[in-house]
Amino acid sequence: MENKLGNPQKTIEIIQKYQFAFQKKFGQNFLIDSRVLDKIIGAAEITDEDLVLEIGPGIGTMTQYLAERARQVVAVEIDKNLIPILNETLGDFQNVVIINEDILKLDIGELTEIYNGGRPIKVVANLPYYITTPIIMGLFESNVPIANITVMVQKEVAERMQAGPGTKDYGALSLAVQYYANPYIVANVPPNCFIPRPNVGSAVIRLTRYEKPPVDVEDSGLMFRLIRASFNQRRKTLQNSLNNSPDLTFTKDQIAGAISALGLPAAVRGEALTLEQFANLSNILCKIKG
């Protein structure tokens, strides 16, 4: 392909041709390394039956790789200045739809219905880092049918998503992600793989969506309130964190009783609990609430 991107020369050529000005507020760091692109595409396990949703195609680098493999790519880009560029770099592909929109405002369920008959889609992106968490949690919580999400994120965020109990990276994000999906860090990616270079390290993470969450929770809203309260005051005991939370109305005795019913020591900290233990704690407290 004549206009194949994924290297510094072509990227600079396109940027200069259109006099494109990078917008920091949109988290624009374009990939210029074909080995990284191959890794992302490989990890996403795209087949010619798949509908792929790409968030933030930029100048269309990864979109080209995706379009070569997928049945259909829907690429959602917020920056209107990139649309003429995308029309050129993706001009050879009949299976790419470009939508000039903010991904956080788009009805992805409707998109899935239109382009994939409601069947599970795959999401692939080099994400704008300033909205990584709302994008990922938005996708999970919206109940859009998703098979997997393979994304470039800030390295620390990838580590937090994959972290387990008792580690420094473990927190509300680890538990939220792991309730919906099995995370796996595919590769670490240094700043020199992008134009312009970000001032943080990056990593590709694949989140394989569970058909059913790995724990049984009667009220997942309550479980996530407990999780947030526990990690808001991470150095405090679980009991104190839950007592102090304005989002929870249980008495001190109810909380102490629930922790003890789980067989945990009274001085345990939230960061020591597994997802299953948070689920059990939530189920015990849910019964009290009636």
x/- string (CB under 6 A) for ligand SAM, residues 146-185? Answer: ----------------------------------------
CA distance readout (Å), 63 to 3, 77, 140, 231: 12, 11, 23, 38
x/- string (CB under 6 A) for ligand SAM, residues 70-99? Answer: ------xxxx--x-----------------
Give yes or no for residue 6 binding ligand SAM (CB under 6 A): no
CA distance 63 to 54: 7
Q: Which residue is nearest to ligand SAM (CB)?
A: 56
Q: Which of residues 42-71 bind ligand SAM (CB under 6 A)?
A: 55-58, 61-62
b (16+ CB within 10 A) / e for 138-164: ebbeeebebbbbbbbbbbebbbbbbbe
Q: Minimum distance between the CB of residue 286 and ligand SAM, rounded to whole angstroms?
A: 35
Which of residues 121 and 275 has its CB atom nearest to ligand SAM in the complex?
A: 121
Give yes or no for residue 104 binding ligand SAM (CB under 6 A): yes
Which of residues 49 and 102 has its CB atom nearest to ligand SAM in the complex?
A: 102
CA distance 8 to 27: 18
Which of residues 50 and 271 has its CB atom nearest to ligand SAM in the complex?
A: 50
SS3 195: strand
Nearest to 111 by CA among 52, 49, 40: 52
Binding site for ligand SAM (CB under 6 A): 26-31, 55-58, 61-62, 76-79, 82, 102-104, 126, 128, 131
